[in-house]
């Protein structure tokens, strides 16, 4: 299991972008903002997991997960609170939440390979009460709603790098967030 080297902040994904110049919003459009990119990443990571059992990259590092869990503890978030991980990737954060005792957790990602990978990792960990779904957060197909906690580690960043009208996509992100998050719910973006 490797960990993201960035250590924090929304600039982390942007820093990986290697071409083009910033748009008016300061982001450099990049393949990192496209579904094709993430499909290819998770197809590769799924293969690696099957061959070697490596769960792949943890964006922003393991400490970012611990920090959020400590925050949830400090604020006495009940273990049965509904939690949504937006763009869950390999789902390792879901595993950590479940091991801590959270019992109502859902991960979504628009990459089917990411959901397959997170499902395989969750199964290997022997955890059964985690919901997973292939969903484009910008075009939600089902009535996902009423979450107490929404977590995003790296997904808004990725969306912000989309070469095709990222500004609109960020607005849509906010709309989707307001749909899935309960009134007075909590939203955590990347590291706190």
Where does this chain bind ligand SAM (CB under 6 A)? 13, 38, 58-59, 87-90, 93, 108-111, 114, 136-138, 153-155, 158-159
CB of 96 to ligand SAM, least distance (A): 11
CA atoms within 13 A on the CB side of 76: 0
Which residues are paired to 51 by β-bridges? Answer: none
* Cα 6 off chain centre by: 16
Cα 1 to Cα 62: distance, rounded to the nearest angstrom: 10
Q: Closer to ligand SAM at the Cβ: 5 or 78?
A: 5
Minimum Å distance from CB 151 to ligand SAM? 8
In this complex, which beta carbon is closest to ligand SAM, that of residue 37 or of residue 182? 37
Instruction: Return the number of the residue (82 or 188) whose C-beta is nearest ligand SAM.
Output: 188
Q: Least CB distance from residue 9 to ligand SAM, whole Å?
A: 13
Which lies closer to ligand SAM via its Cβ, residue 81 or residue 117?
Answer: 117
- Compute the least distance from the CB of residue 191 to ligand SAM, in Å: 10
Best CA proximity match to 138, nearest among 190, 188, 180:
180
- Is 151:89 a contact under the CB 8 Å cutoff? no
Structure tokens at 170: 């960020």
């Amino acid at each position: 299991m490797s960990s993201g080297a960035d250590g924090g902040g929304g600039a982390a994904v942007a820093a990986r972008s290697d071409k083009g110049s910033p748009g008016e919003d300061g982001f450099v459009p990049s393949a990192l903002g496209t579904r094709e990119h993430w499909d290819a990443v998770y197809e590769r990571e799924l293969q690696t997991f099957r061959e070697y059992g490596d769960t792949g990259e943890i964006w922003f590092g393991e400490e970012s997960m611990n920090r959020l869990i400590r925050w949830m503890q400090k604020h006495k978030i009940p273990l049965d609170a509904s939690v949504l991980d937006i763009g869950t990737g390999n789902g390792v954060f879901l595993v950590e939440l479940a091991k801590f005792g959270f019992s109502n957790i859902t991960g979504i990602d628009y990459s089917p390979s990411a959901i397959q990978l997170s499902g395989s990792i969750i199964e290997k960990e022997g955890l059964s009460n985690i919901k997973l779904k292939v969903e484009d957060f910008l075009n939600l197909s089902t009535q996902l709603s009423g979450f107490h906690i929404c977590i995003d580690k790296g997904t808004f960043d990725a969306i912000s790098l989309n070469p095709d009208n990222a500004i609109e996509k960020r607005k849509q992100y906010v709309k989707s967030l307001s749909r899935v998050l309960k009134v007075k719910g909590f939203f955590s973006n990347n590291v706190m």
